[in-house]
């Protein structure tokens, strides 16, 4: 088993996905591409690596919604996708018999909640929790869900009810622009960031038609009115009135072109949300008439001028602070717009009233410059918070219906995501506290879904161990001592609060909590809380003051003196509506702090969620630049941690992250039975692939069970841990459980199975390699022998063909040579004999003038034609396949074959003339190289010691007997 720390498997985070081979990943994923997996529970194994890869593959394929069990993960596309939210698509999901079989979508969640309401299965009421960090698309998701319900839940039967439904639908949709204009702002991460949490209750009647709605808000960031971070903006409504007001309205509200306001940073930046006409039109639809709108905008303009009131340090502490040079005009303008007297306004901002003693004596103390700025900011925040609450009440009165007219509801909760900044204060503490509570609710719901799945498979739930966030919640809200209780106690004490003292109290009182940490290198007083999504460092400076949220009584009384109709409504003079007075030194009544009010509203919200069937939509921002088709894994991972999906992954990993069907398990691990020969499959254990088309599910399951047990029993360390569907769970967590249709495994069991499978495959590979080498060696030997035989046969055939050609050529040459020799002999004999006879009867004459008969002339022509053949034969190469030159010369000269030197010469005595060629001539043989009448007589072959060239006739010198 892998070691688990805080319920998290230590081997899953960094090495879970990298340790798996590609074939194993294909097996666990059933060879399906990642972008086709519409549910993260189908990813095997359930690790951060595989989850990120799946989300990235789907995002790059323009698939922005993915199921994660009971949660829908929504990736912000950062580009318009109108066809994804069209009314036709809404109706398609609404009319589908099984919307779950369609592609994941927010309309699937909406339709599921609507059908759950219609089914009347307890709990009937539904809720959808939309969470995510700023810029992830929570506001857009909530808006699309409201449009979906307005379309599908408005199906009246009569024309009159149709008009009523259409009016309610339009009012519900028009509430969004107003809430966004007064509650959203541009931040570093999002141009339209919701700076408050809201729970929208869509009310349905008995016919399941939407009859109304109600809005409840949580923790408005009212400090943004007077304090904005660098590169951020104030609420949208301030920029809308400055850019969208007409010339007359600008003159009326004292907003000239190019006017600079200290509470209106980045005024030149234009956003899509700066649409003043849309806000005014929505307010008209909700019953806010034009004079009331002008009154609202005039008060907002007065707050902008109030921010330009700047104070200077006083030289005498007993005297109030002086105004800056340009501040007097701002005081006059602000007092005029707020319908307040100028002098009381200035006096309230600069002088503090203190009541002390039993007689409640009043003391007036001039404020320092910092205190003046604080009272000015407090006045602006008080007015804006009351205005926002009044707008919410107006919206509710416009869209809400009689409680007796609706029976069920569907709630939409749009809350902050987990926040961690370099400078975190009370706002982040409350936001993260709410996320901790919602995370606990989500984990409980998710575990219940897991328990139902395991129950269906016949498994017990008690073996899954996980670490919830109850320890962190005890640190924040626990009793009797917690961070919230210590902060509230500091507020109740009538003494100046010190940031270092608060840090010391928190660290000393809560030192035993494992979720509390301290940064020793930090110079500023702070403490660290280890949340489920990661540690967050909170600064203690200003924490108590923000928790008190002090509203001086004189500020409230000043606003009650206003002659403005709207401010009279916001600050009535009735005793029931009076603000909370400051406690005297002897009265220690409990102070209703910001933390206390937020905790009470959060408990009320959780009660509503517990009474409903929750559904979760986790909005994820792929990148912080807002670019389409850009997926940054580090940023996505941090958001998955913040919205609780990482914790869900860890809970899944703590149970059985590997889930394989029986058939797939047997097909992959059936070869493990080779490790145990006695359990080898026999006739009674057919292969699951045999006769697949003839099997029924019952027969298949009956056949697979023995095979499963054979496979599991081949692993000796896990023999006792393997359990059948009917076996009870052991005290020690078992690494593998056989359900009714699936095999549930831990990652350690998967590693062991893969290791054993690798051993069997290695043995099989060695056997295959040995057989292959033997086969290859035998094949090579046979090929070598066959090649030798073929080479020998070819060489024999070539030799025979060569000999046959030589024999044929030799036969032809011999035949031709014989004919030529006979003819030459005959011609030579005839020629010489004729010359002798003629020489005897006639006087000697020159050879050139000697005339031959016609027959001899023809024979002489034949000799001339056949003479080159003799030259060729005489010039043949010497070798074992050629003719001997000497034999040719001897044959031409009619020499005996015994020895050329032993030939006797027969001559005619006492006669002059040419002797017979059959006799060896006496003397030397001359070769006449003059122009010859023969065709080839002038061609000189290569010189050779055995060659005779360049002669046309053989002349024997005439020797006289007397001269010899």
Which positions ≥6 away from 73 have C-beta within 8 Å? 40, 55, 65, 66, 67, 618, 620, 645
Residue 216 has pLDDT above 60, yes or no: yes
pLDDT of residue 738: 77
Q: What is the mean pLDDT of residues 126-144?
A: 86
CA torsion sign, 789 to 793 to 794 to 799? positive
Question: According to DSSP H, which parts of 73-137 are helical?
Answer: 87-95, 106-119
C-alpha–C-alpha distance, residues 562 and 831, integer Å:
165
Average pLDDT, the chain: 77
pLDDT at res. 137: 86
Task: Annotate 773-806 with b (16+ C-beta within 10 A) or e (fewer).
Answer: eeeeeeeeeeeeeeeeeeeeeeeeeeeeeeeeee
Average pLDDT over residues 21-49: 68
Q: Is the dihedral of CA 642, 646, 652, 654 positive or negative?
A: negative
Average pLDDT over residues 388-413: 90
Q: Which sign, positive or negative, has the C-alpha torsion 120, 121, 123, 126?
A: negative
Q: pLDDT digit string (tens) for 869-900?
A: 555 555 554 444 444 555 555 555 444 444 44
**In the chain, pLDDT over 90 holds for what percent of residues?**
28
Question: Which range, of 330-344, 710-724, 813-827, averages the lowest pLDDT?
Answer: 710-724
Is the pLDDT assigned to residue 711 strictly greater than 80? no
DSSP-based three-state secondary structure for 365: strand
Contact 661, 42 (CB under 8 A): no
pLDDT tens sequence across 487-512: 998 888 867 778 899 999 999 999 88
Instruction: Give the integer Cα–Cα distance in Å for 812 and 820.
Output: 12
Question: Which H/E stretch holds residue 66?
Answer: strand 65-68
Question: What's the gap between Cα 473 and its chain centre?
Answer: 34
| Torsion sign (Cα): 695, 698, 701, 703 | negative
Q: Assess whether pLDDT exceeds 50 at residue 674.
A: yes
Per-residue model confidence as pLDDT tens digits over 433-445 = 998 998 888 887 7
Whole-number pLDDT of residue 254: 92
Confidence (pLDDT) at 228:
86
pLDDT in tens, 632-642: 998 898 888 77
Q: Over 60: is that where the pLDDT of 792 sits?
A: yes
Q: Is the dihedral of CA 624, 626, 627, 633 positive or negative?
A: positive
Give 937's pLDDT tier (boundaries 50, 70, 90). Answer: very low
Strand partners, 323: 311
Rg, Å, the chain Cα set:
56
Identify the band that residue 864 occupies on the pLDDT scale cut at 50, 70 and 90: low
DSSP state of 157: S
How many CA atoms, within 13 angstroms, populate the side-chain half-sphere of residue 445? 23
Report whether pLDDT(304) > 90: yes
pLDDT at 878: 46
Question: So what's the pLDDT on residue 475?
Answer: 94
- Span 226-250, average pLDDT: 90
Neighbours of 293 (CB within 10 A): 14
- Contact assessment for residue 337 and residue 302, using Cβ atoms and an 8 Å cutoff: yes
Q: What is the pLDDT of residue 5?
A: 33
Q: Residues 351-376: pLDDT tens digits?
A: 888 877 676 777 888 888 888 998 99
Torsion angle, CA of 908/913/914/915, rounded to 10 degrees? 0
The better pLDDT of the pair 300, 315 is held by 300
Helix 426-456 to helix 470-477 angle, to the nearest 10 degrees?
150
- Taking residues 650-673, what's their average pLDDT? 75
d(CA 899, CA 25): 98
Cβ(225)–Cβ(235) under 8 Å?
Answer: yes
Distance in angstroms (rounded) separating the CA atoms of residues 885 and 877? 8
Least confident of 138-147, 423-432, 893-902: 893-902
- So what's the pLDDT on residue 336? 94
pTM of the model: 0.65
Average pLDDT over residues 727-752: 66
**pLDDT computed for residue 900 by the predictor:** 44
**pLDDT tier, 909 (very low <50, low <70, confident <90, very high otherwise):** very low
For residues 166-174, average pLDDT: 77
At 527-553, the pLDDT tens digits run 999 998 889 999 998 888 888 887 888
11 pLDDT more than 50: no
Using the predicted structure, report yes or no on whether residue 956 has a pLDDT greater than 80.
Answer: no
Q: Give the DSSP letter string of 208-243.
A: S-EEEEEEEEE---GGGGT---TT---BHHHHHHHH
pLDDT confidence bin for 415, thresholds 50/70/90: confident
Q: Examine the pLDDT at 696 and tell me if it is beyond 50.
A: no
Average pLDDT of 509-517? 91
Euclidean distance between the first and the last CA atom of the chain, given in angstroms as a whole number: 131
| Cα dihedral across residues 336, 340, 343, 348: positive or negative | negative
Percent of the chain beyond pLDDT 70? Answer: 71
């Amino acid at each position: 088993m892998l070691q688990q720390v805080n319920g998290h498997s230590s081997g899953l985070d960094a090495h879970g996905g990298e340790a798996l081979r590609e074939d194993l990943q294909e097996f666990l994923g059933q060879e399906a591409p990642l972008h086709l997996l519409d549910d993260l529970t189908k990813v095997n194994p359930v690790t951060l690596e595989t989850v990120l890869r799946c989300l990235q593959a789907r995002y790059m394929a323009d698939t922005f919604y993915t199921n994660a069990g009971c949660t829908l993960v929504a990736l912000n596309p950062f580009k318009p996708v109108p066809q994804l939210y069209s009314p036709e698509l809404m109706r398609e999901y609404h009319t589908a018999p099984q919307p779950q079989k369609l592609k994941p979508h927010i309309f699937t969640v909406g339709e599921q909640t609507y059908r759950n309401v219609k089914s009347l299965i307890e709990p009937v009421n539904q809720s959808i929790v939309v969470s995510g960090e700023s810029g992830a698309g929570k506001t857009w998701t909530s808006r699309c869900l409201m449009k979906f319900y307005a379309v599908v839940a408005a199906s009246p039967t009569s024309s009159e009810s149709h008009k009523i439904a259409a009016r309610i639908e339009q009012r519900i949709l028009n509430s969004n622009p107003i809430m966004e204009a007064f509650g959203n702002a541009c931040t570093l991460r999002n141009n339209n960031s919701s700076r408050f949490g809201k729970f929208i209750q869509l009310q349905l009647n008995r016919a399941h038609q939407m009859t109304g709605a109600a809005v409840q808000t949580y923790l408005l960031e009212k400090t943004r009115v007077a304090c904005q971070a660098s590169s951020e903006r104030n609420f949208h409504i301030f920029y809308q009135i400055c850019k969208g007001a007409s010339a007359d309205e600008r003159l009326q509200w004292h907003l000239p072109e190019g006017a600079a306001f200290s509470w209106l940073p980045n005024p030149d930046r234009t956003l899509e949300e700066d649409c003043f006409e849309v806000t005014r039109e929505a307010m008209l639809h909700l019953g806010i008439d034009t004079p009331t709108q002008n009154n609202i905008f005039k008060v907002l303009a007065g707050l902008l001028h109030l921010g330009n009131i700047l104070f200077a340090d006083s030289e005498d502490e007993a005297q109030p602070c002086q105004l800056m040079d340009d501040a007097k005009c701002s005081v006059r303008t602000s007092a005029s717009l707020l319908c307040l007297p100028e002098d009381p306004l200035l006096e309230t901002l600069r002088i503090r009233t203190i009541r002390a003693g039993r007689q409640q004596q009043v003391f007036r103390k001039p404020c320092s410059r910092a205190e003046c700025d604080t009272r000015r900011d407090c006045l602006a925040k008080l007015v804006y918070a009351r205005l926002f609450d009044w707008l919410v009440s107006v919206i509710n009165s416009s869209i809400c219906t009689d409680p007796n007219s609706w029976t069920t509801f569907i709630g939409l909760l749009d809350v902050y995501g987990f926040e961690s900044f370099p400078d975190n204060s009370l706002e982040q503490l409350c936001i993260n506290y709410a996320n901790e509570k919602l995370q606990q609710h989500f984990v409980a719901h998710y575990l219940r879904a897991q328990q139902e799945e395991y129950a269906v498979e016949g498994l017990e739930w008690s073996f899954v161990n996980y670490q919830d966030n109850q320890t962190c919640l005890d640190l924040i809200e626990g009793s009797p001592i917690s961070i919230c209780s210590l902060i509230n106690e500091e507020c109740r004490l009538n003494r100046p609060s010190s940031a270092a003292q608060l840090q010391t109290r928190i660290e000393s009182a809560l030192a035993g909590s494992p979720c509390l940490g301290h940064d020793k290198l930090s110079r500023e007083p702070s403490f660290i809380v280890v949340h489920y999504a990661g540690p967050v460092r909170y600064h203690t400076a200003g924490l108590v003051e923000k928790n008190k949220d002090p509203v001086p009584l004189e500020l409230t009384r000043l606003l009650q003196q206003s002659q403005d109709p709207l401010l009279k409504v916001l600050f009535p003079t009735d005793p029931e509506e009076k603000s909370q007075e400051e406690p005297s030194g002897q009265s220690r009544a409990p102070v209703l702090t910001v933390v206390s009010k937020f905790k009470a509203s959060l408990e009320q919200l959780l009660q509503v969620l517990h009474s409903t069937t929750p559904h979760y939509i986790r909005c994820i921002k792929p990148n912080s630049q807002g670019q389409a088709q850009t997926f940054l894994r580090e940023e996505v991972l941090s958001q998955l941690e913040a919205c609780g999906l990482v914790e869900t992954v860890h809970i899944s990993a703590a149970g059985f992250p590997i889930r394989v069907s029986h058939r797939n398990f047997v097909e992959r691990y059936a070869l493990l039975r080779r490790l145990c020969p006695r359990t080898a499959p026999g006739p009674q254990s057919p292969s699951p692939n045999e006769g697949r088309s003839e099997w029924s599910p019952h027969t298949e399951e009956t056949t697979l069970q023995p095979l499963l047990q054979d496979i599991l029993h081949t692993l000796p360390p896990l023999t006792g841990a393997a359990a059948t569907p009917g076996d009870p769970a052991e005290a020690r967590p078992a690494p593998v459980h056989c359900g009714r249709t699936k095999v549930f495994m831990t990652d350690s069991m998967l590693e062991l199975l893969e290791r054993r499978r690798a051993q069997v495959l290695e043995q099989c590979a060695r056997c295959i390699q040995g057989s292959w080498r033997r086969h290859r060696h035998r094949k090579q030997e046979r090929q070598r022998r066959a090649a030798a035989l073929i080479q020998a046969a070819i060489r024999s055939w070539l030799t025979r063909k060569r000999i046959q050609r030589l024999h044929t050529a030799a036969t032809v040459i011999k035949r031709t040579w014989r004919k030529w020799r006979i003819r030459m002999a005959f011609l030579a004999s005839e020629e010489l004999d004729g010359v002798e006879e003629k020489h005897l009867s006639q006087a000697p004459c020159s050879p050139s003038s000697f005339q031959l008969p016609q027959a001899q002339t023809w024979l002489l022509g034949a000799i001339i034609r056949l003479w080159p053949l003799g030259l060729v034969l005489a010039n043949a190469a010497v070798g074992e396949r050629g003719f001997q030159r000497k034999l040719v010369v001897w044959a031409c000269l009619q020499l005996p074959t015994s020895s050329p030197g032993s030939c006797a010469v027969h001559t005619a005595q006492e006669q002059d003339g040419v002797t017979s060629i059959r006799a060896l001539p006496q003397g030397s043989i001359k070769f006449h190289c003059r122009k010859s009448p023969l065709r080839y007589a002038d061609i000189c072959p290569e010189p050779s010691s055995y060659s005779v060239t360049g002669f046309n006739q053989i002349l024997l010198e005439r020797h006289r007997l007397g001269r010899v």
